[in-house]
């Protein structure tokens, strides 16, 4: 990559392992109701899909309206634990350093509420390094609407064809491959792909997500190799759980968001 180019990342499940803090928030919420929370490793699989997916897993016996009433209480509990134990996935620090050394910019587009996202980014020491942060409530729309990605590009002063988006959930793929985000010929200029930076993680839909690919965008070797691993490496060849960087515990996730 070079000046005038950028890499945008999803946050939870892509840059940061936030499962510990989110699970702690769910534990606190459910215990206040006399309920038993799901195990961390089971919970981790839906972290990237957002609060409603986490509540659906944790409260399978409740209908959608009942779970919706718990979104705000869950986020209130999470606001207490949000900075307790975040950690960057193994290899992320080196990738961010390489992007910066190339003269390119990097930023974050997440569906997490902006205030909470900023607290996570600050806890990671990235608040002065991330060139842009777009949260789920920054705009009237959020992923899979492509408006968040286009807004980030505008804030960076980078044209969408010169930007790549790295995420790990299907809505990341959908947002990045909308015609508004991909003004160049197939397979699209702004792309999203599952990434192998978070070594050892899994998603149930990895095979589908990894098919999203825009070769012209992956100019930086580090980012390209990471995404090559996701595109071509079958789940059986994914590296085993290892460690994560950052202030969190030295534990690797066994499944994503």
How high is the pLDDT of residue 90? Answer: 85
Determine phi and psi for 165, rounding to 5 degrees.
-115, 130
Per-residue pLDDT of the chain in tens (257 residues, 90 and over written 9): 567 889 999 999 889 999 999 999 999 999 999 999 999 999 999 998 899 999 999 999 999 999 999 999 999 999 998 988 888 988 899 999 999 999 999 999 999 999 999 999 999 999 999 999 999 999 999 999 999 999 999 999 998 888 888 888 888 888 887 755 544 333 333 333 333 333 333 222 222 222 233 322 333 344 444 444 434 332 222 222 334 543 322 111 122 32
How high is the pLDDT of residue 242? Answer: 32
How high is the pLDDT of residue 2? Answer: 66
Place of tokens 């659906």: 56
In angstroms, the CA 118 to CA 127 distance is 7
How high is the pLDDT of residue 136? Answer: 94
Q: What is the largest CA-CA distance in the chain?
A: 54
Q: Which two tokens stand for residue 137?
A: 């409530």
Query: What is the DSSP secondary-structure string of the chain?
Result: --TT-EEEE-SBTTTEE-HHHHHHHHHHHHHHTT-PPPPHHHHHTTGGG-HHHHHHHH-TTS-HHHHHTTHHHHHHHHHHHTTTS-EEBTTHHHHHHHHHHTT-EEEEE-SS-HHHHHHHHHHTT-TTT-S-EE-TTTSS--TTSTHHHHHHHHHHT--GGGEEEE-SSHHHHHHHTSTTT--SSTT-SS-----SSSTT---TTHHHHTT---GGG--SHHHHHHHHHHHH--GGGSPPP--B-SSS-S---SS--
How high is the pLDDT of residue 46? Answer: 92
Options 10, 12, 168, 169, the catalytic residue: 10
CA distances, 167 to each of 70, 193, 219 (Å): 26, 6, 17
How high is the pLDDT of residue 175? Answer: 87
pTM for this prediction: 0.72
Residue 17 known to be catalytic: no
- 221: Cβ–Cβ under 8 A, 6 or more apart, which residues? none
């Amino acid at each position: 990559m070079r000046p005038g180019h950028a890499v945008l990342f999803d946050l939870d499940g892509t840059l940061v392992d936030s499962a510990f803090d989110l699970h702690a928030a769910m534990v606190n919420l459910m215990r206040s109701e006399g309920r038993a929370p799901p195990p961390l490793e089971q919970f981790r699989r839906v972290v990237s899909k957002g609060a409603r997916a986490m509540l659906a897993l944790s409260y399978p016996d409740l209908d959608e309206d009942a779970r919706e009433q718990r979104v705000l209480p869950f986020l209130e509990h999470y606001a207490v634990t949000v900075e307790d134990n975040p950690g960057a996935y193994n290899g992320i620090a080196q990738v961010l350093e390489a992007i910066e050394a190339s003269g390119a910019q990097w930023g974050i587009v997440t569906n997490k509420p902006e205030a909470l996202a900023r607290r996570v980014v600050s806890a990671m020491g990235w608040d002065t390094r991330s060139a842009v942060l777009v949260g789920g409530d920054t705009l009237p729309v959020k992923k899979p609407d492509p408006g968040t990605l286009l807004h980030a590009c505008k804030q960076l002063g980078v044209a969408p064809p010169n930007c790549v988006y790295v995420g790990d959930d299907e809505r990341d793929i959908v947002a990045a491959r909308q015609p508004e985000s991909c003004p160049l010929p197939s397979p699209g200029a702004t792309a999203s792909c599952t990434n192998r930076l978070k070594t050892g993680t899994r998603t149930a839909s990895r095979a589908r997500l990894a098919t999203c690919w825009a070769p012209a965008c992956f100019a930086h070797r580090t980012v390209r190799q990471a995404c090559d691993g996701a595109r071509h490496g079958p789940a059986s060849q994914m590296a085993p759980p290892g460690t994560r960087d950052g202030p969190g515990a030295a534990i690797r996730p066994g499944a994503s968001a």
